[in-house]
Structure 1
C-alpha cells in the first residue's frame, strides 16, 4: 500500500495487536532484558503487597484493615494488570478496565480511610461539630472561592460518601456495559465518531470521576492538619499520582497513538504500540509508588490525640458561629 510518499506501509500496521507468542518469538536481546525487568518489577510489587496485607492483618485495628489494604493495592494491582497487558496486547482493553474499576473503588476507600483514621463517623462528627467544610476546592470548584462553607452534619457526610461511592458503582456498571457492547461490535476504542459508544461512555465516566474526586479533596482539605501525624499529605499525594499516571497519562498516550503521532513498529500497529508504551511506563511507575506507599502505611496505628479547642488559622477549619 502506497502512502503517497513512495513508501510502503507494513501490513501489520493495519492489523490487530499481535498474539503473545508472536511477541516472544520476535524479542531481541534488549526486548528480553526489558520484558524480564518489567515482569520482575510487577511480581515484586505484588509480593510486597501480599506481605503488607499480612502485616496489616496482624498489626492494624479491625476497622482499618480493609480500607488500608484496598488503598495499598492500587499500585500493585495496576502494575500486575499492566504486565499482563504487556505480554498479551489483545487483552489490554480488559486489563485497563480492571485497573480502572479497582481504582474507582480506591477513590471511595481513601475517603473512608481518612474518616477511620480520625476514629470513624461518630468520632468525626463529634470532633468536627463546631467546624464547617470548605467546598471551594478541586477538581470541581477550585475557581469558586465565593462558595459558602457547609456545616458538618450526618447529611453532609452522607452526601460526601455518596459522591465517591457512585463512581465505584457506576464505573463497574459501565465497564460491564462496555464489554457487552464490545462483544457485539459496538465498542471500539479507535472509533471516535459521534455515533460510537466510546464517545458517549468515556466522557460520562470522566464526569463521574470528577464528581467522585471532589468529596475526597474536600475531606482531605478539612482533615490534613488533624491527620498530619500519620503523613496524610504524602499518602494523598501518592493517591493523586496513581490517578494521574493510570488515567491521564494513559489517555494522552492512547490519543497520540490513535492520531498517528506514535509511529507503527511491526508487529505493533501505532495504536498497539501506544498501549504497549503505556503499560511499560505504568509498571515502572507503580513499582516505585508501591515502595513509597509501603513505607507510608507501615507504622504503629495509635489513636489520634484529642483535638485542641482553639481557633488557630493553621487548623484550616472554619468555626461555626454561635448563632448557627
Structure 2
C-alpha cells in the first residue's frame, strides 16, 4: 500500500514499519516505550501481590485500590499500541477515557469512605469552609465564589460534577470512533470537522470533573492527611491533565506543521505518535508516584496505609460482634 508524502492519513502497520526500518531514533523510542510499558505491568503485578497479602478477602477498599493502580499500566499499554498500530489511536483513546472516568468515580467513593460515609464526612467538615474558587474552572472567581459550608446537597453537587465525565466522555468518544470507522473523523482544528466539537465537549466535561474532584480533595486534604491522599490525588490528576492537555497541544502544533513530516507521515500523524510515546513515559513516572502513595508509611505510626485500612475493618468487626453479645 502506497501513501502520499506527508499525508494526514494514519498509516497501516505494513507502511509504518517499512518507513521506520532504518529510522534509528524511532526504533529506539519504541524500544524504550515498550520497556516502560512492560515495567508498569510488572509493578502492577507486584502491587497486586502486596494488596492480596495485606487485605482481607472481600475488602471493598482492596478492589478500589486495584482499579486505581491499574490506571497506569492500562494507559501505558493503550498508548504503546497507538504508537505501534497508528490506525488504532481512536479506539485506544476511547478505552483510556472510559478507564479514567471510572477511576475518578472510584477515587471519590474511596475518599468519602475514608471518612466513614457521606454523613461522617459532612460531620467532620461541619466547622470548615470549602473553597469554591479553585482551578481549573473558577480560580479567577474568588470575589464571587465565597467559601461555603459543606452540606449533603452541595456534596452531591460536587459528586455529580466529578462523575458526569463517566458518561459524557465515553459517549462523545464512542461517537468519534463511529465517525472514524466511516472516515469522517479527522484530527484537524477546523469548524467543519467533528473533531473540534467532540474535543470541546470532552474538554469541558473533563474540566468540570476536575473542578468537582479538586473541591472534594481540597476539603479533605488535611483531614485525611494520614491516608496520604495528596500523593494519590496528584498521581491521578496529573495523568488526567496529561491525557487531555497534551493531545490538544499536539493538535494545535500540527496546524503549524510541527513536528515536520517524515515520509508519508504528516505532522498530525507524527504528533499523535509523539503524544502517545510521551504519555507512556509520563504515565510510568506517575505509576511510581502512585505506588509510593499507596504504600508510604504513615507519619503517625509504623503501619502502612493498607494495614491501617485492615485494622479499621477488624476494629469495626470486633465492635459489631461485641454489640451482638451485649
TM-score category, normalised to shorter length: 0.7 to 0.9
1:277 counterpart = 2:277: no
Tell me which moved more, 146-155 or 78-87.
Answer: 146-155
Q: Any idea what the Cα deviations from partners look like across 1:227-248, whole Å, max 9, x if unmatched?
A: 2222222322222221222211
CA distance in 2, matches of 1:37, 1:127: 47
Aligned in 2, Cα 1:24/1:193: closer, same or farther, shift over 3 Å? closer
Structure 2 counterpart SS, 1:133: coil
Match of 1:111 in 2: 108
Give, in whole Å, the separation in 1 of the partners of 2:309 and 2:4: 63
User: Could you tell me how far 1:189 is from its partner in structure 2?
Assistant: 1.8
2:155 corresponds to which residue?
A: 157
Q: 2:41 aligns with which of 40, 46, 52?
A: 46
What is the alpha-carbon distance in structure 2 between the residues aligned to residue 206 and residue 141 of structure 1? Answer: 15
Instruction: Tell me which residue corresponds to 1:6.
Output: none
Is the Cα–Cα contact under 8 Å of residues 7 and 264 in structure 2 kept in the other structure? no
In structure 2, the residue corresponding to 1:12 is in which secondary structure? Answer: coil
The TM-score, its normalising length taken from structure 1, stands at: 0.82
Q: Give the corresponding residue for 1:237.
A: 234
Please name the residue that 2:215 is paired with.
218
SS in 1 for 2:164: helix
More helix by share: 2
Are residues 1:174 and 2:172 paired? Answer: yes
Structure 1 residue 16 corresponds to structure 2 residue 9: yes
Post-superposition Cα deviations, 1:148-174, rounded to whole Å, max 9, x if no partner, equal 333322222221211111111111111
Q: Aligned-pair RMSD on alpha carbons? A: 2.5
User: Corresponding residue for 2:246?
Assistant: 249
Match of 1:198 among 195, 200, 213: 195
1:84-130 CA distance string (max 9 Å, x none): 01110111122122212222222232222322223332321332234
Residue 140, structure 1, aligned to residue 134, structure 2: no
Q: CA deviation at 1:204?
A: 1.6
Instruction: Please state how far the C-alpha of 1:81 moved relative to its aligned partner.
Output: 0.6
Distance 1:35 1:187, change over 3 A: closer
Change beyond 3 A, Cα 1:200–1:31 = closer
Distance (Å, rounded) in 2 between the aligned partners of 1:239 and 1:135: 21
Instruction: Indicate conservation of the 8 Å contact 1:71/1:110, yes or no.
Output: yes
Q: Which residue of 1 aligns with 2:93?
A: 96
- Once the two structures are TM-superposed, the CA of residue 274 in structure 1 deviates from its matched residue by 0.8
1:216 to partner: Cα distance: 1.0
SS in 1 for 2:122: helix
Any conservation in 1 of the 2:36–2:280 contact (CA below 8 Å)? Answer: yes
Residues 74 and 242, structure 1, Cα contact 8 Å, conserved in 2: no
Equivalent residue in structure 1 for 2:21, among 4, 27, 39: 27
Question: TM (normalized to structure 2)?
Answer: 0.82
Structure 1 counterpart of 2:124: 127
Aligned residue number for residue 322 of structure 2: none
Structure 1 residue ranges without an equivalent (≥5): 1-9, 305-324
The answer (yes or no) to whether the contact 1:81–1:95 under 8 Å persists in 2 is: yes
* SS of corresponding position for 2:110: helix
Offset of residue 38 of structure 1: 1.4
